[in-house]
Structure 1
Amino acid sequence: MNNLSLLPNNWDTDLYENKHAFVWEYGQDLLKLLDPKPGETILDLGCGTGQLTAKIAQVGSEVTGIDHAPSMIEKARQNYPHLSFDIGDASNFRINQPVDAVFSNAVLHWIKEADEAIASIYQALKPGGRFVAEFGGKGNIQAIAQALDSALEAKNISAQALNPWYFPSIGEYATLLEQQGFDVTYAALYDRPTLLSEGEAGMTNWIKMFADAFFIALSTDQQIQIIRTVEEHLKPILYQQGNWTADYRRICIVAIKL
């Protein structure tokens, strides 16, 4: 597998597993759309620490998980030593034998090179193979992103230059898929407000986990100050009864390789 990407490469796997279990818990609904069958070969693209890979394997599918972050793959191998995991980049990976399905949960909003990712997915599938994915769509975390932008711009930091995310509309992403030879058979864009764990610390934990790209050049004190500013801005709309909610909006896609 190749390993070249703009994805965060230093994921805190303990923070990911202990505070952000919603990432794979919500992904279990996507498994119903995948509908894996015994004997099928399936690639879990962006497998994280392997929870959904293991769910796919339980039905008898032959599944391999790949992820850009070595820390995630190391943890996945510890969690599920009987399964196959490898380091790979969603925008630039190759596999030896085409598979029946490519499954991807909460990954593709990290891949700004959408054309490259789709090309890699296309070559990984057998003719008639299916691509099933869910990720951040147009309007995802809009309130959080705007609060981050404002707090950073106040410090003369260009948030746009640091933004690691790609949140397409249905029309945009379906068009990209069709241009590369996919038949899009299902597409949906929907709000999915997501309760964050750890009560009052929930938004801080979320920012540290998923928005660390904005803080690379900042001191610890500057980071704390900006996060506090973001929280103050968001509290009236995303904080209720001691808990934070992230304003998620998801795109769900099923496409068949022609």
Structure 2
Amino acid sequence: MPREWDAHGYDTLPLPHERWSLRALSHLLLTGGETVLDAGCGTGRDTAALLGRLPGGRVIAVDGSTAMLDQLRVRLDGRTDRLEIVHADLTQPLQLPGPVDAVFSVAAFHWIPDHDALFGNLAAVLVPGGQLVFECGGYGNIASVIHAVDSLVDDVPDVWNFADVAETDARLRAAGFVNTEVGLVTDPAVFPDDDLLVRYLETVVLGAHLDRLRVDERAAFIRAVADRLPAPVVDYVRLTVRAVFAGQPGPPSKVVRSRPAEQQ
């Protein structure tokens, strides 16, 4: 079940997601009339950018968080004539008004534990020859944050799916994607002060861990994680992907997920 977010707080922060979006958008080949699925659209920053690239096209914005979609509606008020908003779990088959020419996603797929199901569901709504362009946390992502959490909590749940290049490529091909371009990009987010770092950790990074704590325990936990980081930096490693749907699924994936030691 997708988790809920502090969507308003999320939208008030300066996010590295904006540069990730620009980088991913540069790999999406559009003529302007396509229908594009924004998968894990959040508060709609990328949805707005997509609408700007599609003067004669449409965007279908999908997210599992009602709070995020409510914030998207506020952001895009008056711009919904070419926009379809869908509340859905990306690990389940998607019920869309029709097939899409491309799927685009920024900073969402590492929250989804089952990438085999995810890629299969995305392939099912793409036209043959349709593009898949996304970026998310990849192998080695936020290792310092994970180490800090591990030092504070016993039996830490595996709340993220930071896949590596080989397993992602294998899963994409098994779902019917070809011409796959998969890579890892080191891209740390540097914060000017500890206060902004704490707000960012609370709103963007640690939410799934905070959900397990009492409300009166959360501030101290966030502060303890921040104090254990070597610098006011979140050490991001981004998994970047571009692929084309061939029109039919391949054989079942048999990859084995790997993890760096600090994530096990």
The SS at the match of 2:26 is helix
Question: Does the residue aligned with 2:42 lie in a helix, a strand or coil?
Answer: coil
Determine whether 1:223 maps to 2:211: no
Q: 1:250 aligns with which of 238, 246, 252?
A: 238
> Could you say which residue in structure 1 is the equivalent of 2:58?
62
TM-score (ref. length: structure 1): 0.86
Identical pairs, percent:
29
Shift of 1:172: 0.6
**TM-fit CA distance, 1:219:** 2.9
Deviation at 1:14, TM superposition (A): 1.9
RMSD of aligned residue pairs (Cα, Å): 1.7
More helix by share: 1
Q: Provide the residue aligned with 1:88 in structure 2.
A: 88
Residues 69-125 of structure 1, C-alpha deviations (whole Å, 9 max, x = no match): 111111111111323222122211232311110001100000001111111100010
| TM-score, scaled to structure 2 | 0.85
Unaligned runs of 5+ in 2: 247-264
- Superposed counterparts of 1:150-169, under 5 Å: 150-153=151-154, 158-159=155-156, 161=157, 163-169=158-164
Q: 1:48 to 1:189 in 2, by over 3 A?
A: same
Show the counterpart of 2:11.
Answer: 17
Offset of residue 221 of structure 1: 4.2
Label 1:150 to 1:184 Cα distance change in 2 as closer, same or farther (>3 A): farther
Match of 2:168 among 160, 167, 173: 173
Aligned residues: 238
For 1:214 and 1:54, the matched residues in 2 are separated by 30
Choose from 59, 67, 74 the match for 1:71. Answer: 67
**Distance in 1 between the 2:227 and 2:15 partners?**
25
Shift of 1:42: 0.6
Structure 1: distance between partners of 2:223 and 2:150: 13
Q: CA deviation at 1:212?
A: 2.0
The Cα shift of 1:20 comes to 4.3
For structure 1, the residue ranges without an aligned partner over 5 or more in a row are none
The alpha-carbon deviation at position 8 of structure 1 amounts to 1.9
Going from structure 1 to structure 2, the CA distance change for 1:38 and 1:216 (only over 3 Å counts) comes to: closer
What letter matches 1:245 in structure 2?
V
Q: Distance in 2 between matches of 1:218 and 1:67?
A: 25
Displacement of 1:185 in angstroms is: 2.7
- The letter of the residue matching 1:248 is Y
Alignment of 1:104-143 (within 5 A): 104-143=105-144
Partner of 2:44: 50
Query: Retained in 2: the 8 A contact 1:152–1:226?
Result: no
